[in-house]
Amino acid sequence: MQHSGEAMELQSNSSLTKRWIIYIIGIYILTLGISLAIRAGIGISPQSSLTRTMTVIYPELTQGTYSFLLELIMLFLAYLVLPKDFKWKYFAGLIPALVLSVFLDLNLLLTSFIKLELYYTKVMLLVVADAALAYGLFLMIRANLVLIPVDLFVNTVFKRTKRKWGNIKTVFDCSLLVIAASIGLIFLSEIMFIREGTIINAILVGQYIKLYSYLYKKAQTRIIGGDPTIINR
C-alpha cells in the first residue's frame, strides 16, 4: 500500500510538472502571437493597445514592463473588489505574469525585422498572429493552473456582481480600449494601435479557441476508443 501511495504521488507530481510545461509553452506562443499582431500594424487587442501606447509615451520602459505593471494594478483592483475573499495564493499569478512579460519583450525583439507594406500581407499576418495567440490561450486554459491577475480581476468582478462572465469580459476589454484611446489623445493627440485589426482580433481569437477545443476533444475521443467521458477526468 505504501508503494502504491508513493507511485500515485510521483504520478501526480509528474502530471503537475507536465501542466506547468504546457502552461509556459502556452505563454510563449501567446506572446509570439501578440508580437506578430503588433508587427502587422493594423490594430491589436485592448490590453496590448494600452501597453503599446505607453511605450510610445514613455519608451524608456519596455512593453513587457508595462504589461507586468498592468498585472500589478489588476491584482490590487481584485483585492479592492473582494478584500475579504482575497487570498495570498493569488500572488502566485505574478509568476506567470512575469514570465509573460519577459517572453513578450523577447518575441518583440525577435520579430523586429518584420516590416510589411502591402495591406493584404498585414491582414494575413494578423490572421496567423491571432491563431498563435488563441493557441497559447488554449494551452494555458488546458493546463488549468494559476490565473494571471488580469483574468483574476475579471473573475473577481464576476463573483461580486453575479453577472454573465462574457459580459464582464466585454466591458473590461472595452474599458481598456477607452483608456488606451484617452491616453493616446491626451499625450499623443491621436488614437494609436486601435484599428480594424482590433475588431478582427476580438472575433478570431474566440473562434480559434473553439476550433482548438473541438479538435482536442475529437483527438482525445479517438485515443480513448470513443469514450468521451474520460476526457474531463
The string of pLDDT tens digits covering residues 113-131 is: 999 999 999 999 999 999 9
Residue 226's pLDDT band, with cuts at 50, 70 and 90, is low
Residue 232's pLDDT band, with cuts at 50, 70 and 90, is very low
Span 51-66, mean pLDDT? 98
Report yes or no: 40 and 116 within 8 Å, Cβ to Cβ.
Answer: yes
Residue 204's pLDDT band, with cuts at 50, 70 and 90, is very high
79: left (phi over 0), alpha (psi -120 to 50) or beta: alpha
Span 54-81, mean pLDDT? 97
Give the closest residue to 34 by CA, choosing from 51, 20, 21.
Answer: 51
Q: In sequence order, which ranges of 44-195 are alpha helices (DSSP H)?
A: 46-57, 63-81, 94-110, 119-143, 149-161, 165-188
